[in-house]
Structure 1
Amino acid sequence: MSALAYHAGLEALRAGRTEAALGPLTAALDDPVQGAWARLNLGLALHALGRLAEAEPHLRAAMTALPEQAEPAFRLGTISGLRGETADALALFRIALARDPRHVPAHAALAGLVDDPVEARALLTAARRIDAEEPELVLAVARLDLAEGQAEAAAMGAAMVLAASPGHAAAARLFAEAGIAAWGAEVALAEIGASAEAEPFAAGWPLAAACVHEADGRPGAALAELRTAQLLAPASPEILAALAHALADAGLTTEAEVTLRAAITARPADLDLRNRLATVLWKANRLSAMLDILAAAIADFGPHPTLLQNQALAFNTIGEQEAALAAADASLVGGGVAALVNRMAVLPYHPVAGTAANLRAAAEAISAALPPVARVATRHRPRGGRLRLGLLSGGLGQHPVGWLTLAGLEALPEREFELTAYSLKPRADPLAARFRARCARWREVGALEDAAIAAQIAEDGIDILIELGGYGEGGRPFVLQHRPAPVQVKWVGAQFSTLGLDGCDWMLTDRWETPPGFEPHYTERLLRLPDGYVCYLPPPYAPPVAASPALDHGAVTFGCFNNLAKLTVPVLAAWARILTALPKARLVLRTHSLSEPETRARTGARLAAGGLPMARVALEGGMPHRDLMAAYGGIDIALDPFPYTGGLTVCEALWMGVPVLARAGDSFCARHALSHLSNVGLADWAVADAEEYVTQAIVRARDLPALAALRAGMRERVAASPLTDAPRFARGLAAALRWAWEEGAR
Structure 2
Amino acid sequence: MTAEAYRAGLEALGAGQPARAVPLLTEALGDPERGGYAALNLGMALQALGRLAAAVPPLQQAMAALPDHAEPPFRLGTIAGLRNDAAAAAALFRSSLARDPAHVPALAALAALAEEAGDTGEARALLARAQDCDPAEPELALALARLDLGQGEAAAAAGGAGAVLARRPAHAAAARLLAEALQAELGSEAALERVAAGAAADPFAAGWPLAAAWLLEAAGQPEAALAELRLAAQLAPGQADVLAALGHALAGLDRHVEAEAILRQAIAARPGDLDLRNRLATVLWKGNRLSAMLEVLEAAVADFGPHATLLLNQALALNAIGEQEAGLAAAEAAIPGGGIAALVNRIAVLPYHPVAGTALRLREAAEAIGAALRPVPPLVRGRRPQGGALRLGLLSGGLGQHPVGWLTLAGLEALPEAGFTLVAYSLKPRTDPLARRFQARCAQWHEVGALDDAAIAARIAADGIDILLELGGYGEGGRPFVLQHRPAPLQVKWVGAQFASLGLAACDGMLTDRWETPPGAEAFYTEQLLRLPDGYVCYLPPPYAPPVGPLPALAGAGVTFGCFNNLAKLTAPVLAAWAAILAALPEACLILRTHALGEAATRDRTARRLAAAGLPPDRVALEGGLPHRRLIEAYGGIDIALDPFPYTGGLTVCEALWMGVPVVAMAGDSFCARHALSHLSNLGLGDWVAGDHAGYVAQAIARARDIPALAALRQGLRARMAQSPLTDAPRFGRNLAGLLRQAWIAVPEA
- Alpha-carbon spacing, 1:118–1:707, altered in 2? closer, same or farther (3 Å): closer
Letter in 1 for 2:72: A
Match of 1:41 among 18, 22, 36: 22
- Alpha-carbon spacing, 1:239–1:157, altered in 2? closer, same or farther (3 Å): farther
Match of 2:161 among 176, 188, 192: 188
- Alpha-carbon spacing, 1:574–1:745, altered in 2? closer, same or farther (3 Å): farther
Match of 2:606 among 603, 608, 611: 603
Q: CA deviation at 1:186?
A: 4.7
- Alpha-carbon spacing, 1:456–1:564, altered in 2? closer, same or farther (3 Å): same
For the pair 1:731 / 2:734, whether they are aligned, the reply is: yes
Which range moved further: 736-745 or 699-708?
736-745
Q: CA deviation at 1:179?
A: 10
- Alpha-carbon spacing, 1:442–1:175, altered in 2? closer, same or farther (3 Å): closer
Letter in 2 for 1:41: V
Match of 1:342 among 345, 351, 368: 345
Tell me the TM-score normalized by structure 1. 0.86
Which range moved further: 636-645 or 476-485?
476-485
Match of 1:528 among 531, 535, 538: 531
Q: CA deviation at 1:105?
A: 4.0
Partner of 1:165: none
Q: What aligned pairs does 1:53-452 form with structure 2 within 5 A after superposition? A: 68-72=35-39, 75-76=42-43, 93-100=59-66, 105-106=71-72, 108-109=74-75, 113-115=89-91, 119-124=95-100, 147=123, 149=125, 154=130, 160=136, 184-186=157-159, 188-189=161-162, 191-197=164-170, 201=174, 202-378=205-381, 380-452=383-455
Q: Deviations over 1:534-578 (max 9, x none)?
A: 000000001111111111143100000000000000000000000
Tell me the TM-score normalized by structure 2. 0.86
**Root-mean-square deviation (CA), in Å?**
3.2
SS class of match (1:724): coil
Contact 1:505 / 1:745 at 8 angstroms: preserved in 2? no
Letter in 2 for 1:702: R
Distance across 2 between alignment mates of 1:17 and 1:481: 46
Contact 1:501 / 1:523 at 8 angstroms: preserved in 2? yes
Q: Deviations over 1:497-530 (max 9, x none)?
A: 1111111111111111111111111111111111
Q: CA deviation at 1:155?
A: 5.0
- Alpha-carbon spacing, 1:228–1:618, altered in 2? closer, same or farther (3 Å): same
Q: CA deviation at 1:175?
A: 8.3
Which range moved further: 213-222 or 605-614?
213-222
Q: CA deviation at 1:97?
A: 3.4
- Alpha-carbon spacing, 1:118–1:172, altered in 2? closer, same or farther (3 Å): closer
Q: CA deviation at 1:77?
A: 7.5
For the pair 1:620 / 2:623, whether they are aligned, the reply is: yes
Q: CA deviation at 1:220?
A: 1.5
Partner of 1:497: 500
Letter in 2 for 1:93: L
Distance across 2 between alignment mates of 1:310 and 1:123: 38
- Alpha-carbon spacing, 1:150–1:327, altered in 2? closer, same or farther (3 Å): closer
- Alpha-carbon spacing, 1:215–1:535, altered in 2? closer, same or farther (3 Å): same
Kindly tell me the number of residue pairs found equivalent between the two proteins.
691
SS class of match (2:328): helix
Q: CA deviation at 1:73?
A: 5.9
Distance across 2 between alignment mates of 1:408 and 1:517: 27
Match of 1:560 among 558, 563, 576: 563
Partner of 1:705: 708
Q: Deviations over 1:170-212 (max 9, x none)?
A: 7796586599899633553354244321675411111111111
- Alpha-carbon spacing, 1:571–1:498, altered in 2? closer, same or farther (3 Å): same
Q: CA deviation at 1:352?
A: 0.1
Distance across 2 between alignment mates of 1:200 and 1:556: 69
Distance across 2 between alignment mates of 1:91 and 1:121: 21
Contact 1:138 / 1:161 at 8 angstroms: preserved in 2? no
Distance across 1 between alignment mates of 2:597 and 2:128: 53
Which range moved further: 177-186 or 571-580?
177-186
Partner of 1:716: 719
Contact 1:142 / 1:155 at 8 angstroms: preserved in 2? no
Q: Deviations over 1:234-284 (max 9, x none)?
A: 131011101110111111111100000000000000000000000000000
Distance across 2 between alignment mates of 1:519 and 1:233: 60
- Alpha-carbon spacing, 1:269–1:43, altered in 2? closer, same or farther (3 Å): farther
SS class of match (1:333): coil
Partner of 1:55: none
Q: CA deviation at 1:392?
A: 0.8
Contact 1:196 / 1:206 at 8 angstroms: preserved in 2? no
Distance across 1 between alignment mates of 2:372 and 2:50: 23
Identity %: 63
Distance across 2 between alignment mates of 1:176 and 1:729: 47
Contact 1:379 / 1:461 at 8 angstroms: preserved in 2? no
Distance across 2 between alignment mates of 1:119 and 1:474: 38
Which range moved further: 299-308 or 595-604?
299-308
SS class of match (1:391): strand
Letter in 1 for 2:254: G
- Alpha-carbon spacing, 1:533–1:65, altered in 2? closer, same or farther (3 Å): farther
- Alpha-carbon spacing, 1:124–1:183, altered in 2? closer, same or farther (3 Å): farther
Q: CA deviation at 1:160?
A: 3.9
Q: CA deviation at 1:15?
A: 11
- Alpha-carbon spacing, 1:496–1:141, altered in 2? closer, same or farther (3 Å): closer
Contact 2:246 / 2:262 at 8 angstroms: preserved in 1? yes
Partner of 1:677: 680
SS class of match (1:115): helix
- Alpha-carbon spacing, 1:423–1:700, altered in 2? closer, same or farther (3 Å): same
Q: CA deviation at 1:485?
A: 1.1
